[in-house]
RNA sequence: GUGACCAUAGUUUAACGGUAAAACUGCGGAUUGUGGAUCCGCUAUCGAGGGUUCAACUCCCUCUGGUCACCCCA
């Protein structure tokens, strides 16, 4: 009885908040029509200036700060990406975060979740519909076209690294602002190009100490796929009663996805479903075989996965994903995805240009690196090194920055704290930094032109001439 | 977008229907030129809003956020 009552209350409350939401949406729409900048009411202005009562500024949902402790990982990932991309002859391309919304809609396709549910779209102050990039390929294609890169020697190989935005529900390894390492290769319809890209992604992960397996499939030409889709949909319709609820929905929405269903009860039915390989044209089949031969040659481990389809409209022929070997839990283990898109450049108004590319999720790699660092934490000794500069007295304090600057020019990087005056506090800090040596500059030393070098482990101190400091430090830190 | 669990100092975690306890960290100090030890002090409008109650951090609802799974993707 009580339960029933509560349910009712819940329902009413829900409908009220819904109505409220509708009202506020209406309000926003009305406001959008106002000339920009829109005039705010006194109340709204106050809300912006003072903030909602009692609310601290907070991170937007699904956004993440990169903190100093994470930076070494980021640096490592970026440098590894840079190193490998350039070794394979890719040129760096940086496109804007904002593009015309239609660019993304046309290339990724209506009906995909990325476009229909996740893209950040808004009207610019001059009325342009702009979108924040949810992936790199569209922008890269646009750049290829707008800079006439088809006149360069083909293939044109480009790599990018940066932020992408998708309004998804945050989850493990999934954020609304995410980073990808992206490579594209334009202008060559050649199995070697596909293989090269896969190897770049694979080696990138291997260089970071991540063992992976590549999953390969071919989805043929759009015609192949269309024919297959008709066949598959027909099959699923007949077997409808054997499928789970999700799969029933997928029949009309995205039949290819049904093949991937994790529901045990669907398994037998789906295993007997027609496979796309049998619907590929001879040319597509041959092309795919050649890609695989290259991979054999390159000794990149791969498996064939007939159910692999990709969620973006533009793919043709080769598609692939890369998964970490060790952990299988969760569905966030796909580190990289990509494939060939031979029609996209032409469809967006450029010269017909075959192309292939991949995108690699940096946050997912980060998760793995952090996990590995955690596992090895006890094994790795904290590296001892570095030098701290301590000062004593006003005169010394004034000299500190200058001396630090001189030493920096000589390639000696120091920790220091000008804010702390007590020597004790400074030594405490030096200890926390875990430095091997501390330089101490006091009143007396300033006058004598000397400085104290303190060995932090033994506590032994020696006084040296400031002029000999550099060579003295070099001698010590080298050992 | 759907569902489950969660929300107390910077961090990790307690307790209780009657105005919060500890550890670690941070800052300050234990007679003013010497750290790693010890001791002392400071630091929480108990995520926001509302309701039940004489009284709520503790019970209920809504919102927000987090985590995880689905969906989807990297």
pLDDT tens sequence across A375-406: 776 555 555 678 999 998 888 888 888 888 88
Instruction: Give the mean model confidence (pLDDT) for residues A317-326.
Output: 90
Residue A284 contacts residue A217 (beta carbons within 8 Å) = no
| A425 CA from B71 C1′ (Å) | 55
Residue (of A366, A371, A365, A343) closest to A355 by Cα position: A343
User: Tens digits of per-residue pLDDT, A153-168?
Assistant: 999 999 999 999 999 9
Please state, as a whole number, how many other Cβ atoms lie within 10 Å of the Cβ of residue A365: 25
What pLDDT is attached to residue A474? 85
Nucleotide nearest to A365 (CA to C1'): B74
Given a cut of 70, whether residue A227 has pLDDT beyond it is yes
Give the Cα separation of A178 and A165 in Å (integer): 6
Nucleotide nearest to A447 (CA to C1'): B33
What pLDDT is attached to residue A292? 95
Residue A270 belongs to what H/E stretch? helix A267-271
Given a cut of 60, whether residue A12 has pLDDT beyond it is no
What pLDDT is attached to residue A381? 54
> 3-state DSSP call for residue A170?
coil
Give the Cα separation of A326 and A304 in Å (integer): 18
| A223 CA from B5 C1′ (Å) | 47
Top-confidence residue, A345 or A298: A345
Point out the residue nearest to B32 (C-alpha to C1').
A422
Nucleotide nearest to A257 (CA to C1'): B72
Given a cut of 80, whether residue A268 has pLDDT beyond it is no
Point out the residue nearest to B72 (C-alpha to C1').
A113
| A170 CA from B67 C1′ (Å) | 10
Instruction: Give the mean model confidence (pLDDT) for residues A346-350.
Output: 94
| A419 CA from B24 C1′ (Å) | 25
Label residue A88 by pLDDT band (50, 70, 90).
Answer: very high
Point out the residue nearest to B36 (C-alpha to C1').
A431
What pLDDT is attached to residue A295? 94
User: Tens digits of per-residue pLDDT, A99-151?
Assistant: 999 999 999 988 888 998 999 999 999 999 999 999 999 999 999 999 999 99
In the predicted model, what is the mean pLDDT of chain A?
A: 83
Of A95-104, A141-150, A177-186, A245-254, the one with minimum mean pLDDT is A245-254
| A421 CA from B26 C1′ (Å) | 18
Instruction: Give the mean model confidence (pLDDT) for residues A219-231.
Output: 87
Instruction: Give the mean model confidence (pLDDT) for residues A189-197.
Output: 96
| A415 CA from B19 C1′ (Å) | 46
Residue A348 contacts residue A145 (beta carbons within 8 Å) = yes
Residue A256 contacts residue A315 (beta carbons within 8 Å) = no
What pLDDT is attached to residue A210? 92
DSSP-derived letter for residue A331 is: S
Nucleotide nearest to A17 (CA to C1'): B62
Of A36-50, A181-195, A340-354, A429-443, the one with minimum mean pLDDT is A36-50
| A342 CA from B13 C1′ (Å) | 56
Give the Cα separation of A227 and A215 in Å (integer): 24
Q: Write out the two tokens for A170.
A: 């945050």
What pLDDT is attached to residue A197? 96
Q: What is the ipTM of this complex?
A: 0.85
Nucleotide nearest to A359 (CA to C1'): B74
User: Tens digits of per-residue pLDDT, A436-456?
Assistant: 899 999 988 999 999 999 998
Strand B bases contacted by the protein (CB, 7 Å): 1-3, 26-29, 32-36, 45, 47-49, 60-74
Q: Is the peptide bond before A155 cis (omega within 30 degrees of 0)?
A: yes
| A69 CA from B38 C1′ (Å) | 31
Nucleotide nearest to A137 (CA to C1'): B74
Point out the residue nearest to B2 (C-alpha to C1').
A169
Q: Quick one: how far is CA A322 from the chain centroid? A: 15
| A373 CA from B14 C1′ (Å) | 30
Give the Cα separation of A131 and A95 in Å (integer): 13
């Amino acid at each position: 009885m009580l339960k029933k009552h509560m349910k009712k209350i819940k329902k009413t409350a829900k409908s009220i908040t819904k109505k409220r939401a509708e009202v506020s949406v209406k309000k926003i729409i009305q406001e959008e029509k106002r000339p920009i900048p829109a005039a705010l009411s006194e109340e709204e202005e106050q809300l912006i200036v003072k903030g909602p009562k009692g609310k601290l500024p907070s991170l937007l949902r699904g956004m993440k700060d990169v903190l100093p402790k994470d930076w070494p990982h980021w640096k490592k990932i970026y440098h590894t990406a840079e190193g490998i991309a350039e070794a394979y002859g890719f040129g760096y391309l940086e496109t804007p975060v904002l593009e015309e919304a239609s660019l993304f809609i046309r290339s990724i396709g209506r009906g995909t979740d990325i476009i229909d549910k996740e893209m950040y779209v808004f009207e610019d102050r001059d009325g342009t519909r702009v979108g924040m990039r949810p992936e790199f390929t569209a922008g890269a294609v646009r750049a290829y076209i707008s800079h006439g890169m088809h006149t360069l020697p083909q293939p044109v190989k480009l790599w990018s690294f940066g932020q992408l935005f998708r309004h998804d529900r945050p989850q493990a390894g999934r954020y609304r602002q995410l980073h990808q390492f992206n490579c594209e290769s334009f202008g060559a319809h050649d199995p070697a190009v596909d293989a090269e890209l896969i190897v770049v992604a694979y080696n990138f992960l291997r260089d970071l100490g991540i063992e992976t397996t590549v999953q390969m499939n071919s989805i043929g030409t759009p015609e192949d796929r269309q024919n297959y889709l008709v066949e598959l949909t027909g099959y699923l319709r007949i077997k409808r009663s054997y499928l789970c609820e999700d799969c029933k929905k997928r029949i009309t929405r995205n039949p290819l996805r049904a093949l991937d269903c994790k529901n045990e009860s669907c398994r037998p039915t789906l295993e007997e479903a027609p496979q796309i390989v049998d619907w590929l044209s001879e040319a597509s089949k041959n092309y795919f075989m050649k890609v695989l031969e290259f991979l054999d040659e390159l000794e990149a481990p791969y498996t064939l996965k007939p159910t692999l389809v990709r969620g973006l409209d533009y793919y043709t022929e080769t598609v692939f994903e890369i998964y970490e070997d060790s952990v299988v839990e969760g569905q966030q283990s796909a580190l990289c995805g990509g494939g060939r898109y031979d029609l996209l450049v032409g469809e967006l108004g450029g010269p017909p240009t075959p192309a292939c590319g991949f995108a690699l999720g940096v946050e997912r790699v980060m998760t793995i690196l952090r996990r590995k660092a955690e596992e090895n934490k006890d094994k790795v000794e904290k590296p001892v090194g570095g030098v701290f500069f301590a000062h004593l007295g006003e005169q010394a304090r004034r000299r500190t920055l200058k001396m630090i600057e001189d030493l920096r020019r000589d390639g000696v990087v120091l920790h220091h704290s000008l804010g702390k005056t007590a020597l004790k506090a400074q030594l405490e800090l030096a200890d926390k930094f875990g430095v091997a040596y501390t330089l101490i500059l006091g009143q007396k030393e300033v006058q004598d032109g000397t400085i104290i070098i303190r060995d932090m482990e033994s506590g032994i101190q020696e006084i040296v001439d400031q002029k000999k400091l550099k060579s003295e430090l070099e001698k010590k830190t080298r050992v």
